Amino acid sequence: MQLDGQLAVVTGAARGIGRAIARGLAEAGARVVLTDVHENEAADAVRGIADAGGEARSFRLDVSDAAACDALAEQVRREMGAISILVNNAGVIFPGRIHEEEAVENWNRTLAINVGGPFNMCRAFYPHLRETRGSVINLASIRSFVAAPNAAAYAASKGAVMQLTRALAVEWGADGIRVNAIAPGFIESTLVPDDQKTPEREAAIIARTPLRRQGQPDEIAGTAVYLASDAARYVSGTIIPVDGAYLAG
């Protein structure tokens, strides 16, 4: 599962799963562009990749800004060439119930980033991917399949990511572009605010997950490398849960 000579873009790559995926792609031989609104942390991730012998650059990007995504696609082509791997990882979650005062704002922002982001990036980088017959990897979630209280916007957004993945796999199949998604279970990351990580919540997650633990970000990276590689050259339109058997229980 080597990616030598390929160029990848990973959104939301400053922290957590995105950072681990960027590192994993670099370890497999890809040159990696890391994007995030947290530009200092993205730059730090680039230094870590470089220290390990990889090649990477970072750019500040708000994926909900379609014009900024278009501009990045043009800059990357001009300075680095056409990408063959696009990982749409950037995402947010704002826990809360639909009747609460901030629900409308949270709904709009969640969909703008979690759904609008992949749409904007796929649209911006489509010419690259068509040229290279490349691969798109979206980050869905177990919430693409099952819901929970306090997360209507997040669940709706991840259900949309699952269907966007399937729709683009069909739409772009004739171009030789593969489009898949990874659906992580509960991963130890900064996505969920610290004040939400109560002992009761953590115990409930472990009790519900057959492997009896939460996952680590680098346990998602391996699946991303596989999907980007020639080992998965006939895999498209697929959503792969990486969840410790949560959905099987």
Is residue 154 annotated as part of the catalytic site, yes or no?
A: yes
Contact 247, 142 (CB under 8 A): yes
| Predicted model pTM | 0.96
Which pair of structure tokens corresponds to residue 183? 């659906």
Nearest to 76 by CA among 33, 36, 44: 33
- Bridge pairing between strands 85-88 and 7-11: parallel
Render each residue's pLDDT in the chain as its tens digit; 249 residues. Answer: 899 999 999 999 999 999 999 999 999 999 999 999 999 999 999 999 999 999 999 999 999 999 999 999 999 999 999 999 999 999 999 999 999 999 999 999 999 999 999 999 999 999 999 999 999 999 999 999 999 889 999 999 999 999 999 999 999 999 999 999 999 999 998 777 677 778 888 899 999 999 999 999 999 999 999 999 999 999 999 999 999 999 998
Residue 60: strand, helix, or coil: strand
Q: Is 131 exposed, middle or buried (0-12, 13-18, 19+ CB in 10 A)?
A: middle
What is the identity of the amino acid at 190? T
126, 154, 226, 246: which is the annotated catalytic residue? Answer: 154
Q: Whole-angstrom Cα distance, residue 192 to residue 232?
A: 31
